[in-house]
A = this chain, B = another copy of it.
Amino acid sequence: MERIRCVIQYDGTNYAGYQVQPNGNTVQAELEKALKKMHKGERVKVTASGRTDSGVHAKGQVIHFDTPLTIPESNWRRALSSLLPDDIVVSSAATVDPGFHARYDTTGKEYRYFVWNAQEPDLFKRLYRYHVRSQLDIEAMNLACEYLEGEYDFTSFCSPKTDLKGDKVRTIFKAEVKAEGPEVSFVFKGSGFLYNMVRILVGTLLEVGLGERQAADIPAIISAEDRESAGKTAPPQGLFLWEVSYD
């Protein structure tokens, strides 16, 4: 058996999220369906760095699986891509040490969130951007970002629907907001992220950007350790799992 590691991209618009579930089409199910075809009907389990929610996209999701096939490393990418639908792409594939684990070995993740900040919506961006009509104060949001960087218990930024058993302490290495005309992008790099954490971070930062909260309110929101203290959960279509890091 060989272990294969792939970097994949997907457009989450038409999926009920990454992870296989009883109802609805998922990215994992499409990957396993393609692999099943390559393996003469045998199921091949795919493990990802983590799940993404319905409507959330990925530019750099990482997966691994084990295979008895002896396909040259360089052919995996094309072979698998040709069996996948148009909205899932394999960016790279490589043979890795059988000890490699796409989920347990992650050392960090980067998420990006995109907002279309203009009076008028842009129809052709609706699947990949969250439309915010009122002008955002980028400086205020960046000030708030500074309070988010560091190691904290991020319970306030975690959906109560989480099935997480362990603690909610995570480290945000970097949080930053950039604007280029009406395109506003949020970058978050961290050790790991809780359920809906990035979308709640963005929802809270947007409230700062709209003047509904102050940047200096962030420490109190964090220390409340209460989901009610933070802002709304921003919608899924603006969110991209951008990169997953390993040692």
Contact = CB atoms under 8 A, between A and B. Distances in A.
A18 to B, nearest CB: 15
Interface string A115-137: 00000010110101000000000
Interface in A122-174: 123-124, 126, 128
A222 to B, nearest CB: 32
A34 to B, nearest CB: 16
Interface residues of A, number: 12
A81 to B, nearest CB: 10
Interface string A30-49: 00000000000000000000
Contacts of A121: 89
Interface string A80-120: 00000011010000000000000000000000000000000
A10 interface: yes
A204 interface: no
A80 to B, nearest CB: 15
Contacts of A86: 126
A14 to B, nearest CB: 11
* Max chain B C-beta neighbours (<10 A), residue from A10, A86, A121, A123: A123
A28 interface: no
A162 to B, nearest CB: 28
Contact of A10 (B11, B89, B123): B123
B89 A124 contact: no
A189 interface: no
A71 B124 CA distance: 29
B128 A89 contact: no
Q: Which 6 A-B pairs have CB atoms at the shortest separation, nearest pair first?
A: A9-B123, A89-B123, A124-B128, A11-B123, A11-B124, A86-B126
12 contacts: A9-B123, A10-B123, A11-B123, A11-B124, A11-B126, A57-B124, A86-B126, A87-B123, A87-B126, A89-B121, A89-B123, A124-B128
